[in-house]
Chains A and B, each alone.
Chain A
C-alpha cells in the first residue's frame, strides 16, 4: 500500500511541476466555459434593424415602436428606399431590414398591407434567428392592429411557442453539459494517456515494471490523481455554470455526480487504452484529439443536433460514452429527472465504464512490447 501512495504522490508532483499540465487542468475548463458562454452564444442580442417605410403613417410608427421596445432589437437606421439595404449590409451597419409597403396604414383594413423582412443571408444562422424574431414581434403587432381597427379580435390561429425547461432559450443550457463532457473526457483520457506514454518515452516505465510493484497498482496510481482532478473540474464547471451562466441544477446533485463518476471511469479507461497503443506523447495527443475530442464535440449537440444526423452517424454516436453522459446531464440538471427516467442511460454508461476498465487493465502489459 505504501508503494501505491508513494506513486500517487509522485504523480501529483509531476502534475504540479509542469506548467502546461496545470494550464490544461486548471485554467482550460474555466476558459472554455466562459468562451462558450459569451463568445459562442447562439442567442440574438442587439440585432441592428433598418426600417424602410413612411414614418408619418401611424400604423407603421406603432409597429416600429413596438420593435424598438424589444430589448433584443435595436432600430438603427431609417431609410427611404429598399435599394439602400444592400449598402447597409455591405458596410455592416445593419443585421436585418424591415420594409413596409406603400400606403401600409390604409391597406390594413382590406388585408392588402404587406411587410417584408430582409435578413443578411451571408450569415444564415444569425439571419434565420433574427428574421424569425422580428416576424414574431410583428405578428404580435399585427394582432393588436386588428383589434384597434375592427374593435374585435378576428378568429385566427396563432401558434404560441414555449420552450419548457428553458423558456428564455438560453444556449448555455445546451453547451454546459457539452463542455462538461468535453472537459472531463479531455482531462481524464488525454492526461492519463500522456502521463503513461511519457514514462514509456523516458524509459521510467521500464524501471516501474522491473520493480516488484504489481502492474495493477501502477495503473491505479496513475488514475487516482486524474480522478481527483476531474472531481475538482466537475465542481468548477458546475459552480461556473450555476452562478455565472445561471443554468439551474434542477435534479439531484448526487445523481449528477454518480453520472459524472461513471463517465470519468470510462474516460480514464479509454486513456489507458490509448496509452497502450501509442508509443509517443504526440501520438497519444493526436489519438485523443482526433479520436475523442472531435466526436465528443460533434455528438454532444454543442454544434449539431444528433437527431438530424444520418442514421449511420447516429449509430456511431451511440458507442461514444460522452453522448450518454451529456444526455444524462441534460436530463438530470435541466429537466430535473430522478433515477427512474435516467435508468437506461445510466445503465449504458455503467456498462461502458465496466467494459472499458476491464479491457484496459487486461491490455496493460507487465512487460515491454
Chain B
C-alpha cells in the first residue's frame, strides 16, 4: 500500500491558484522530498494532506484512508511538524512533550524508544521554557513532539529553514534513522542541496509539480550540457552569454555562472570563442555535471 496517494489536488485562495492538479504517490518507508521556492504551495499541500484544509478539487489517501471522509482516523497515525515553530513557548520542554504525548493517547515513557536518540540531546534542558531554546533545540523538540506517538507517516514542513548548516546535516541524519524505524517521511525544503538526501522527490513551482523521481532520475533526464564559467566581470559576462547562439540558459550560481547549452547547436569551444570575441576572455570555463538546482531551473523555465 502506498503511504500517500493524491491525485488532481487543486486549491484556490480567491483568484489565486495555490495548487493546480497535484498528483503524487509516496511509497511507505521512504523519505520523499518536496522541493520548491517560497510561495510554491508547499504548506498548502501539507495542510491538505494532514486533513487541516479541504482541497477545491481532487482526492487523496494516507495509508489507504481518504483525506476528507476518514480525517479523524488519519489524525491518529500521522505526525506533523509545521513550518513555523508551533509549540507552547511558555511551557517547558518536558511539559510540551508530555502534553502532546497525552493528546495522542500515549505517554513519553511508553514511546521513549522512538524519540530517545533526539530527546536525549535536549533532555538536559527539560525544565527550560520552549520559548527560551535555541533554534536547533526548538527544532529537535518539535520533532520529538511530532514523533512521540509513533506515527506511520511523518509530515515535516520546511524543518530546516532557519537552522544552521551543521544542525541541518545533523537533522537529515536523524531523518535517515527515523526512516529506518519504518516511518514514511514527507519533507519539504527550499534548499536544493538537501534534495539528494531524499529517496525520491517532487519539484514544485507556482502550485504545479514540474518534475518527480529519484534524484538520479531527475539529473539523468537533464537534456542539455552544462558549463561553469568563472570570471571577474560577472554581470557583463552573463549578459553576453545569454545572447550567444545555442545557449539555453545562464544563471549566476554563487560566484560562478552555470550555462546550459544545446550540444546539437553549439559546442563549448564555440561559446568560449564568443566570450573571447567580446573581450571578456580572462575567465575559467569547465564542463560540469548538472545538480538538482540546475534541473529545477531548467524545468521551471517551461
CB pair A210 B50 closer than 8 Å: yes
A212 at the interface (CB under 8 A from B): yes
Q: Are A14 and B53 in contact (CB under 8 A)?
A: no
**How many B residues are at the interface, by size bracket?**
20 to 34
CB within 8 Å of A: which B81-106 residues? 82, 84-91, 95, 98-100, 102-105
Whether the Cβ atoms of A10 and B82 lie closer than 8 Å is no
Q: Which of A206-224 contact B (CB under 8 A)?
A: 206-214
Task: Using known A-B contacts A10-B91, A204-B86, A204-B87, determine if residue A210 contacts B51 with beta carbons closer than 8 Å.
Answer: yes
Q: Which of B53-112 contact A (CB under 8 A)?
A: 53-54, 71-72, 75-76, 78, 80, 82, 84-91, 95, 98-100, 102-105
Interface residues of A in 124-177 (CB under 8 A from B): none
Instruction: Tell me if A202 counts as interface (CB < 8 A to partner B).
Output: yes
A-B pairs with beta carbons under 8 A, tally: 75
* B88 close to A2 (CB less than 8 A): no
Q: Report whether A210 and B88 are in contact in the complex, using a CB–CB cutoff of 8 Å.
A: no
In the assembled complex, B47 has its CB within 8 A of some CB on chain A: yes
Is the pair B87, A211 in contact by a Cβ cutoff of 8 Å?
Answer: no
Most buried by B among A6, A7, A210: A210
List the A side residues contacting B87 at CB < 8 Å.
204, 207
Contacts of A312 in B (CB 8 A): none
| Given A6-B99, A368-B47: A206 and B86 interface contact (C-beta under 8 Å) | yes
Q: How far is the CA of A6 from the CA of B53 in the complex (A)?
A: 26
Q: A212-B76, A368-B52 are in contact. Are A13 and B95 (CB under 8 A)?
A: yes
A17 within 8 A of B: yes
- A202 with B89: CB separation less than 8 A: yes
- For the complex, give the distance between the alpha carbons of A366 and B103 in Å: 16
- Chain A residues with CB under 8 A of B105: 2-3, 212
Kindly list the 3 A-B residue pairs having the minimum CB-CB distance in the complex, ordered from nearest.
A203-B86, A6-B102, A211-B103
In the complex the two chains form, what is the Cα distance from A17 to B91 in whole Å?
9
In the complex, A14 Cα to B131 Cα: how many Å?
13
Which chain B positions have C-beta within 8 A of A210? 50-52, 75, 78, 80
Q: How far is the CB of B67 from chain A (nearest CB, A)?
A: 11
Q: Is A367's beta carbon under 8 Å from chain B?
A: yes
Contact present for A17 and B71 (CB under 8 Å): no
Whether, in the assembled complex, A307 has its beta carbon less than 8 Å from a beta carbon of chain B, the answer is no
What distance in Å separates the Cβ of A333 from its nearest Cβ neighbour in chain B?
Answer: 38
Alpha-carbon distance A248/B253, docked complex (angstroms): 81
B190 → chain A closest CB, angstroms: 18
User: Are A14 and B104 also in contact (CB < 8 A) when A207-B80, A367-B52 are?
Assistant: no
